[in-house]
Structure 1
Amino acid sequence: MDEWHLGDDAVVDLMGGHAPDLPEQFAEADPAQAGEPPFPVTLIHGDEDEDVPLRLSRAYATAHPTTRLLELPAASHMDLISPTVPAPWAALLSALS
């Protein structure tokens, strides 16, 4: 995923290098490559997310059928954690409860 340069290369910073140089570490850290999670997973993704493509959450949900994916219309990346944007915030609180 480091080739997408998400979050100004946050993945590269977190992992301490690029995927071609650390293939085992990247494979181990990639939730899409893991088996079915042992706990319920809910993904909340805004359809106007300018930082992380919605197709990533859709691909994860397809690979892990027990995953619940909530796609929020007109929500950006940061809207999901902003209590001043009512609809995404309500969806997040509902998913946590």
Structure 2
Amino acid sequence: MPTGVAVVCESENCLAVYLAVKTGDTDEERSAAEVSEMARKAAEGDGWVISFGIGQAVMTCPGCADGRGPVLERGTCQRCMGLVDTESRCVYCLHQAEPEQAGEG
């Protein structure tokens, strides 16, 4: 059964979520630590910022990291689940959505 791992922005009042890793599609067993590391790396590769708090990684979405956040309205952006405007661009992280992601296709 497929499962997924989400990374959430740890900035105050931010609703950003990054659906980072799909697991369970193979018979390969993975530890929680391994899956968490995969999720952090995937999010980092898509503009999320990692820093370290007391004993754990702290993730910040691209919008909060660049001063445009926090994400206050959910939408269809694949990078942060923020609201996408009429030009198919996320108003928080500025990710340009593909037409089918923005509901145009």
TM-score (norm 2): 0.29
Q: Kindly indicate which of the two structures has a greater share of residues assigned to strand.
A: 2
Query: Which structure carries more helix by proportion?
Result: 1
State the TM-score, normalizing by the size of structure 1: 0.30
